[in-house]
Amino acid sequence: MVGGPRPSEPPASNLGSISLNESMFKLSELMKLHGVFEQDSALTEKQFVSHFGSILGGDHWTPTQISQLFMKIDANSDGTVDWDEFTNFMFLNANATKDSSATSTAAFLPRDDYVAEETPVTTHRARDVFVAIETLPRSGQYLACTHGGVISTFAPTALAAPLQSFKTASARSKSDWISSMVYLRVSGKVAVASMEAGVVFYDLSTPDKKIVSKIPFSELEHATPLSLSTMVDEGSMRESLFIGDDVGFVTQIVFDEPTTWHVCDGEIGCHSDPTLDGCKISRVERHTDYISCLEFVSDLNCLVSASHDGSVKVVDITRGALKRDFRQHRGAVYSFAWCKEPKLIASCGLERQVLLWSPYSIRLVGRLVGHTCSIKQVIWNAASYSLLSLGFDGLVRVWDVKNCKCNQVIEDASHERHKVSLLAFDARYKHLITASSALNDWPLHPMVGVQEALQPHEHPICKILFDPSFQQVVSIDTNAHVVLWNLLDGSMISNFDISDSTITAAALDESGRRLITGSHAGDDVKLWNFSNGSLLTTLKKEKDDHHLDALLRFNRAELDDDAGRVKLPPSLHTQSVHVPRVPRCIAPKSNEVTSVLSITTSIPFSSGRGFTQSKYIACTGWDRRVYVWNDSNATEYLRCMPEKKRATGHTDDVLSLTYCPPKSIATGGVDGCVILWGLNSGDVMHKFQFSSGIEALMYPPKLGLLVGVTTNATLVLINPRHTVVHATVDLREDDALCEVRVARCDVDGELLFTGLSNGLVQVFRLTCLPLLCVEN
């Protein structure tokens, strides 16, 4: 709550664990901060530290803490923070302690009698799949409706068989299709929307369950109803029904008389003409395509609707004013959920990501990445403060919204082809309900003692990076889990997962704000904001004009075994392209990225006054090539060295990469070759051949020499400007057979550190020859 007491100064041991939410500020302080942002639009780190400290007082926040907070808020790592970024971060971190403790200590587990059969015995039809599940408020029983028009009631503790079932009018038609169902809790009726019958009402209290009301098609302007939602005015107890249709209109029916209202089209036997008693109907256009999801959110007092036109709209129910028009989806939107605790809306659709956004600001808060197909549904689980998403492949993912992390993946084998079609959550029993043609429940179990037992890394650590600008250490394990540490006191600042593939190369950019990673898959290089885990850019290793390769890779073409030709889809009117036969036993080699690099070049002006800077990202790996990108918004590479795969270059895997100012890149590989490449031209400037593979290459600027270490423990010093070998030194002692696994230099180029295969670390002083081993 804004205006609450401010917490006391955090101790030094909790330096990295500071969170931010609206309860930490007085209203006057928030207004001052808002005034600063309005005046300067966006604040740099220096301005942010100055203003934040002066407004809140230096006794509660140290400059180091404010700098770390700035890096977490700066999601796109552009070096500035505006008001939208600040408030989005504050909303996302609300109840941070409660959320993290809940999500990390609970999981959905199957019941003891759960059997994961390979193929369930039952085989369902599409009409037998459940389309909606409602919880009856008094009894707590589940009311479920199928696409075919059968409505059943289930006991929460016995989902194997329904308590009772009845067939709606749609069940008698083989062509009708139920699209939605809701329960009207004031009148006790059920509203069902279908393609042929429109919107029909059934009274569950009557024994015959016949149609008691039906909305005339003329009131819907003969549109097809697709989604339903209800609202109850708690003051007057007037209930409203909202109907979203296939032409983008929303129809609202307000029932003035709670129990005696009646609607009919003159064809159900009660009246000969269309009748509207005790209700009012209004209709307004909201979208330009199908309305796929519709819900009244009481916390916002708004009606939220999602559509196939790619938009999600938030409309104030009292004034009818549009409060938010969210259009950051790239395709149709299928579902959304209001996340009450963090005050966010999660929406999903044709793309394979869940988008998190605030109805109070215009910026995107975050993305949940992990699904491999389109996402059909999202629901919020208030019991564990987590979001659940259902993909079209039937997999359910449980997300920690605060950290944008997937905590659990559920594959329910009790359904045919292990494919879940619908999700529901029972807040009373804390059960996740999965549905297809049958229902199954997954109780939420507390994982007692798990949180204390978990370590920051549960897999071997493969990369360690040091950020001298902020005195922080970044560690990455083999499961692509990243942990950010405070070097001063050893506390953990943050942690997150960054990839589904093994991370094989990592580096920090020149500013120390972004993490650059390459993976075993080797298809691209990714840039991350390692303070909050946001993916900033994906740099591709292929040009977009490789249409044929893309068609082959994604199975958009079929290989004709008889003719050896590619059959393109009918929508692509082009000639068939001959493809040489490849033996099926030969698999393509992985293109693992072994080294990534951030490059900043400084070129003086011809006048001698000043200089211009250019920034690049480079990588190399098992494909024996060097890729260079402009450090900008462009995702396609600027240069590839060599441009052709069979051109002069390395003959085996490339293991190391470094920049030699002012205009060359050095690479070293298993073939024992060190190659100097022209950064601007991409040509080979010089080759140096050695007897064993090059394990590491470094260029300490103060030393002015290229330092290389081979696998057989030989040190090579190369002058890149004069393209000569300055010296070679054997680092082994007493004819040891140990190989060098890793090597690093200090910033000044005075000390060389080598890690050996026998576990020893050696330290050499480079400033004197012969080399002196100063420590083992």
**Residue 585 Ramachandran class (φ > 0 left, ψ -120 to 50 alpha, else beta):** alpha
Q: Percentage of the chain surpassing pLDDT 90? A: 40
Whole-number pLDDT of residue 305: 98
Whole-number pLDDT of residue 5: 37
The one-letter amino acid at 265: D
Each residue of 624-678: pLDDT tens digit? 999 999 988 778 888 899 887 767 889 999 999 999 998 899 999 999 999 999 9
Whole-number pLDDT of residue 198: 94
Q: Taking the CB of residue 774, how many other CB atoms lie within 10 A of it? A: 11
Whole-number pLDDT of residue 454: 44
**Residues 47, 48, 53, 56, CA torsion sign:** positive
Measure Cα distances from 111 to 115, 246, 398, 691, 710 in Å: 9, 40, 18, 62, 57
Measure Cα distances from 113 to 414, 441, 442, 645, 739 in Å: 11, 11, 12, 57, 54
Whole-number pLDDT of residue 37: 82
Whole-number pLDDT of residue 93: 61
SS3 170: helix
Each residue of 387-435: pLDDT tens digit? 999 999 999 999 988 878 888 999 888 887 778 999 999 988 899 999 9
Q: Rounded to whole angstroms, how far apart are CA atoms 429 and 423? A: 15
Whole-number pLDDT of residue 775: 60
Each residue of 224-256: pLDDT tens digit? 999 999 999 888 889 999 999 999 999 999 998
What's the whole-number mean pLDDT along residues 741-753?
A: 84
Backbone angles phi, psi at 33, to 5 degrees: -65, -40
The one-letter amino acid at 715: L
Whole-number pLDDT of residue 91: 66
What lies within 8 Å, CB to CB, of 18 at 6+ separation is: 10, 65, 68, 69
pTM of the model: 0.57
Distance of CA 151 to the CA centre of its chain: 37
Question: Please, which residues bridge with residue 564 across strands?
Answer: none
Where residue 570 falls among pLDDT bands split at 50, 70, 90?
Answer: very low
Whole-number pLDDT of residue 398: 94
Q: Does the structure show a pLDDT above 70 at 320? A: yes
Whole-number pLDDT of residue 96: 45
Query: Among residues 99, 73, 67, which one has the least CA distance to residue 88?
Result: 73
Half-sphere exposure of 537 (CA within 13 A, CB side): 21
Q: What is the 3-state secondary structure (H, E, C) of 302-346?
A: EEEEEECCCCEEEEECCCCCEEEEECCCCCCEEEEEEECCCCEEE
Question: Please, which residues bridge with residue 595 across strands?
Answer: 620
Q: Does the structure show a pLDDT above 80 at 306? A: yes
Question: Please, which residues bridge with residue 277 across strands?
Answer: 262
Tokens of 297: 């959110």
Residues 24-41, buried b or exposed e (16+ Cβ, 10 A)?
bbeeebbebbeebbeeee
More confident residue, 635 or 575: 635
Q: Does the structure show a pLDDT above 60 at 555? A: no
Where residue 82 falls among pLDDT bands split at 50, 70, 90?
Answer: confident
List helix spans (H) across 105-263: none
What lies within 8 Å, CB to CB, of 196 at 6+ separation is: 170, 173, 175, 176, 177
Q: Which residue has the tokens 């609970």?
A: 106
Indicate the range of 155-164, 197-206, 436-445, 606-615 predicted with least confidence. 606-615
CATH of domain 12-94: 1.10.238
Query: Among residues 562, 678, 566, 684, which one has the least CA distance to residue 618?
Result: 678
Whole-number pLDDT of residue 280: 93
Domains of the chain, by residue range, sit at: 12-94, 168-285
Question: What is the overall mean pLDDT for the chain?
Answer: 82
Q: Does the structure show a pLDDT above 80 at 17? A: no
Query: Among residues 442, 425, 429, which one has the least CA distance to residue 108?
Result: 442
What's the whole-number mean pLDDT along residues 715-735?
A: 84
What's the whole-number mean pLDDT along residues 257-263?
A: 86
Q: Rounded to whole angstroms, how far apart are CA atoms 697 and 676? A: 12
